[in-house]
Chain A
């Protein structure tokens, strides 16, 4: 088995606030192999974004308590000094964000913003950096890239802006690209273009990608390996087929049952939402954090926090139900419905 590109061990990120301690990320462990596309699925408050912002070192350490290890290419990023982390950020690990409209600086030309990223990490002249920027714009499929590089973000459409962001993120050939809700703010047809682009670029640049999203469809189409997060923890992790055709966690079942589907089914069935509301990250329910909303809850769930098991397996889930029960319930309830 290959050496993992990124190994996160027991990451916790807690924010002390006036209202209490917000446990945004509460014991997250996973590894990412080179060349893999990882999908991280969760709703707001699941901790998915904060986890990866921490990997990037973008969480303000003055206001957060961060523990655990983030081992990237053999080095624990959490032990790095600020300027050491800065050399990693943008060059080895890059990130793109949800809203391309506000993520680019409105006052600077797009080409200049990309060139800036290049010059921070490489000793090249302004001219060279500019040429690299134009080339990157071309590779992400923006027509007339030399003209476009001299334009401002507001002159780009939403889809083009996201492409420019991707160009910027890939300009230094990083080994890992983290995409935080990259298509949520885009139209559906543009979304498809961007995701296709990411797939293609992943091959060309030989990078690993993490897609953080709430969209189960996106993850089904583009990710090899999937993690489902809830209340700051990973509640299920597995390969694509494991999750969609054999999920082992009631939250995953709930998500799969509650989304309206486009594929064949004539009868307009009622959706099966997950009852209740997402939990507060300050007052996390005891035992299994999902238990107040779980239709299969039993006594143990209210007191014991379940572990993510099997620990070394490919398909793990954080639930007290037996494996037999999980498989049965999935067949009866989830597969039967869809």
Chain B
């Protein structure tokens, strides 16, 4: 289903038919154990529970969701920081789900990650130069003598002063540290960069700088991004396509502006209505869907549609018995819901707007 959708809705920047990354049926379960001497598995945390996703070369794929939805776990499984429990991951057509050793190392040259916390993701005991240069040293792609100049070029590229080569992370501001992280990820000219909440910890005025930087770099180096965030406005700004995750599954995926104008899944609708709008009149006109309760734990997901306990649209028994599949709605949009939201246009018309 999602395959048809993604193939039908090639984003502007995609330049090839075969996706750069192809994920099928991905599941990642973390076992919960109990026992006297020998631990027995009594349950699992269903962090990622059946995800199909394609990422095309040159596009920015946005991944949005709240705590416990599995987006960070998905990213880490993709990066092979965790091993998948089930399912397959293909990179440039090759199956990378279980590669090890030298192959895995080679893969690291192609995929890199930028992390959320610019304070915690840099080793405070290493100089900036050594942090950014580490990939060169590890993969031996650049002769030792040339590493420094390469690193300084990178620093300039991300907007840092190359003369600060020998400074330590604590001497930089949050935004600058994030730039260091970006520079580090670029060192090996990867094809895919996974950005895990890269601007959430930054001040508003700095966020814009870093987002622009990421955009520029994407143009210059023909990068593909998997952009993970919980802030929908940020995701909307950077992404060509966006997927919404809830409790380990993708509940809606859409191209361009479709999701924001016309969400189909009630959760997407709630998510959108919850985002505070910096415009009092628009905020007042917003259709508000306030969800009850808290985000449930992925240890024991609800039966049927996982969202049914909190869903304002839920109808029983269908929603609690039958798990919905991702079905296409508008061109370029799929959602997994038995009773999806009405089209905005229809509502507006009915309301005489």
Give the B-binding residues of A (Cβ under 8 A). Answer: 43-44, 157-160, 187-193, 195-196, 214-221, 240-241, 244-245, 254-256, 258-264, 266, 268, 270-275, 277-278, 338
Contact = CB atoms under 8 A, between A and B. Distances in A.
A255 B204 contact: yes
A304 B209 CA distance: 29
Interface stretch (B14-22, B33-41, B289-297): B289-297
Contacts of A278: 173, 203, 205
Interface string B273-300: 1111111101100001011001100000
B95 interface: no
Contacts of A274: 205, 208
A255 B205 contact: yes
A258 B207 contact: yes
Contacts of A44: 174, 203
Nearest to B65: A187
Contact of B271 (A43, A189, A244, A273): A189
A159 B294 contact: yes
Interface stretch (B106-114, B136-144, B229-237, B314-322): B229-237
A263 B279 contact: yes
A196 B277 contact: no
B236 A260 contact: yes
Contact of A271 (B237, B257, B283): B237
A286 B4 CA distance: 60
B277 A261 contact: yes
B157 interface: no
Given A188-B230, A189-B295, A273-B208, A263 B290 contact: no
B215 interface: yes
A305 to B, nearest CB: 21
A274 B175 CA distance: 13
18 contacts: A158-B294, A187-B230, A188-B275, A191-B276, A192-B274, A220-B279, A221-B277, A221-B280, A240-B280, A255-B204, A259-B204, A260-B208, A263-B277, A270-B215, A273-B205, A273-B206, A275-B209, A278-B205
Interface in B220-260: 230-234, 236-238, 256-257, 260
Contacts of A259: 204, 207-208, 233, 278
Nearest to B12: A268
Given A157-B295, A255-B204, A266-B257, A215 B276 contact: yes
Contacts of B232: 188, 262
A142 B282 CA distance: 30
A187 B67 CA distance: 7
A188 B271 contact: yes
Contacts of A256: 278
A217 B277 contact: yes
A190 B295 contact: yes
Nearest to A157: B294
Interface residues of B, number: 46
A188 B278 contact: no
Given A260-B233, A262-B236, A271-B208, A188 B279 contact: no
A78 to B, nearest CB: 30
B271 A220 contact: no
Contacts of B215: 270
A162 B346 CA distance: 38
Nearest to A241: B280
Given A43-B203, A157-B295, 18 more contacts: A43-B205, A189-B290, A191-B276, A193-B291, A195-B276, A214-B204, A215-B276, A220-B283, A221-B276, A221-B277, A244-B280, A256-B278, A258-B204, A263-B279, A263-B282, A273-B212, A274-B205, A275-B209
A249 B321 CA distance: 56
A189 B205 CA distance: 24
A275 B234 CA distance: 19
Contacts of A221: 276-277, 280, 283
Contact of B278 (A195, A220, A241): A220
B39 to A, nearest CB: 23
Contacts of A43: 203-205
Contacts of B272: 262
B66 A189 contact: yes
B291 A189 contact: yes
Nearest to A44: B203
Contacts of A266: 256-257
A46 to B, nearest CB: 9
Given A260-B211, A262-B232, A191 B277 contact: no
A261 B280 contact: no
A241 B278 CA distance: 11
A131 to B, nearest CB: 25
Nearest to B235: A260
B329 interface: no
Contacts of A258: 204-205, 207-208
Interface in B173-224: 173-176, 203-209, 211-212, 215
A221 B260 CA distance: 19
Nearest to B278: A216
Contact of A220 (B204, B205, B277): B277
Nearest to B267: A189
Contacts of A193: 290-291
B40 to A, nearest CB: 25
B330 interface: no
B270 interface: yes
Nearest to B257: A266
B261 interface: yes
Given A157-B295, A190-B294, A220-B279, A261 B270 contact: no
B233 A262 contact: yes
A71 to B, nearest CB: 30
Given A271-B212, A274-B205, A278-B205, A260 B237 contact: yes
